[in-house]
């Protein structure tokens, strides 16, 4: 049984940000303070801890080329010992240009015309090639094999792409097939005129039946693959409305289906926000508690209900056609790994 369509809660803000997911590897400068406990560490060792996406040899070359400063001054020795309260700024090297090639990768097409293509992305598929990720098998490779001419739309390394989903997030995405459509869709996402609705299966059962999460996000100081709630100048506004949908009241450890309505589109936004209110998404290895889970572990015998990726699905997307201007809504059915969990749950009494 697929989810029954329903309107957003009264607090649902219209619109969404430009992206839901970014590449794991850093591409912008970051300034971090040296703590008292870190005083005396070698610069290269300290950089390796703070920037695990880069090898030590790359970090040393960055030091030699002046891409690392301490208190605003370039430093040339990777062996330099650090002092407490110094501020180290690291500017990563530009990522190598990746030219994606067309591949015959199946796509689940929900809608298409000459200007747009709407698909349901499967979990595990990367949207576009990026540093540290395989250059093949991505959505971009599939698009190049599916739509002739899309390679000339938008940016060379991500043709047609106007928004993204995390690798393990499934669900609906819109792709531009012409440059005119790309410009207009990009504008709609930038101006938060696109509405998105997600379904998330989370630990616990919220005390309230709906709510709003207004917490700014920034990259973690300790793990550059993660984002976290921060209240400093580097943090960016992030807003998610939510509504409780279904629960499993008989389980030893309660879990819940929650509808999420992100107004902004920060990297990992829904995942971090739900964790911040005490309801991390099931099987979110980065922000949650486990990598694999089946319903029997929680006290319910349902053999087909097995999860091996985070339980987040982009369910609905509402926008205006970039050329014709008409209002359009698209819905991606829950995939086979999530639908048994939906069917096994009970409707919320809200």
Residue with tokens 């002739």, as numbered in its chain: 148
Q: Please measure the distance between the N-terminal and C-terminal CA atoms of the chain and give it in whole angstroms.
A: 20
| Ranges of H-type helices in 191-309 | 269-276
Q: Evaluate whether 143 touches 162 at the Cβ level (below 8 Å).
A: no
Residues 6+ apart with CB under 8 A from 272: 217, 227, 228, 229, 238, 287
- Judge contact between 161 and 127, C-beta under 8 A: yes
Is residue 166 among the annotated active site residues? Answer: yes
3-state secondary structure of 99: coil
Place of tokens 């070698």: 42
Q: Record the tokens describing residue 249, joined without a space.
A: 């009241």
Residue pair 287/226 in contact (Cβ under 8 Å)? The answer is: yes
CA–CA distance, 313 with 58 (Å, rounded to integer): 36
Element (H, E) at 180: helix 179-190
| Token pair for 309 | 């990726």
Identify the CA nearest to 162 among candidates 138, 133, 190. 190
Q: How far apart are CA 77 and CA 5, in angstroms?
A: 60
As given in the structure block, the two tokens for residue 270 are 């829904």
- C-beta of residue 115 within 8 angstroms of C-beta of residue 178: yes
Cβ 243 vs Cβ 258: under 8 Å = yes
What's the CA gap between 200 and 26, in Å, rounded? 27
Catalytically annotated residue among 19, 166, 284, 337: 166
- CA 328 – CA 42 distance, rounded (Å): 56
Enzyme catalytic residues: 166
């Amino acid at each position: 049984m697929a989810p029954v369509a329903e309107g957003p809660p009264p607090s649902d803000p219209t619109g969404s940000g430009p992206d839901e997911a970014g590449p794991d590897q850093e591409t912008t400068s970051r300034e971090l303070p040296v703590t008292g406990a870190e005083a005396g560490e070698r610069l290269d060792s300290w950089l390796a801890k703070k920037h695990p996406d880069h090898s030590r040899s790359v970090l040393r070359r960055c030091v030699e080329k002046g891409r690392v400063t301490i208190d605003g001054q370039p430093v040339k020795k990777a062996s330099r010992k650090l002092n407490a309260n110094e501020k180290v700024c690291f500017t990563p090297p530009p990522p190598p240009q990746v030219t994606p090639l067309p591949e015959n990768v199946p796509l689940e097409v929900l809608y298409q015309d000459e200007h747009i293509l709407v698909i349901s992305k499967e979990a595990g598929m990367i949207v576009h090639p990026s540093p540290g990720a395989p250059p093949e098998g991505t959505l971009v490779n599939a698009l190049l094999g599916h739509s002739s001419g899309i390679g000339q739309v938008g940016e060379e390394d991500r043709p047609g792409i106007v928004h993204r989903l995390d690798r393990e997030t499934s669900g609906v995405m819109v792709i531009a097939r012409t440059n005119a459509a790309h410009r207009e869709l990009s504008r709609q996402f930038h101006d938060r005129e696109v509405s998105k609705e997600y379904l998330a299966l989370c630990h616990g059962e919220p005390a309230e039946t709906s709510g709003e999460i207004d917490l700014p996000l920034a990259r973690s100081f300790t793990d550059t693959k993660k984002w976290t709630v921060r209240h400093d100048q580097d943090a960016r506004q992030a807003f998610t409305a939510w509504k409780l949908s279904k629960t499993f009241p008989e389980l030893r450890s309660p879990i819940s289906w929650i509808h999420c309505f992100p107004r902004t589109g920060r990297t990992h936004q829904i995942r971090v926000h739900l964790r911040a209110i005490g309801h991390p998404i099931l099987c979110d290895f980065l922000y949650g508690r486990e990598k694999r889970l089946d319903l029997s572990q929680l006290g319910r015998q349902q053999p087909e209900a097995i999860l091996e990726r985070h339980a987040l699905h982009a369910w609905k997307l509402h926008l205006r056609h970039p050329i014709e201007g008409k209002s359009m809504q698209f819905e991606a059915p829950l995939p086979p790994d999530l639908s048994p969990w939906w069917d096994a749950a009970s409707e919320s009494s809200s």
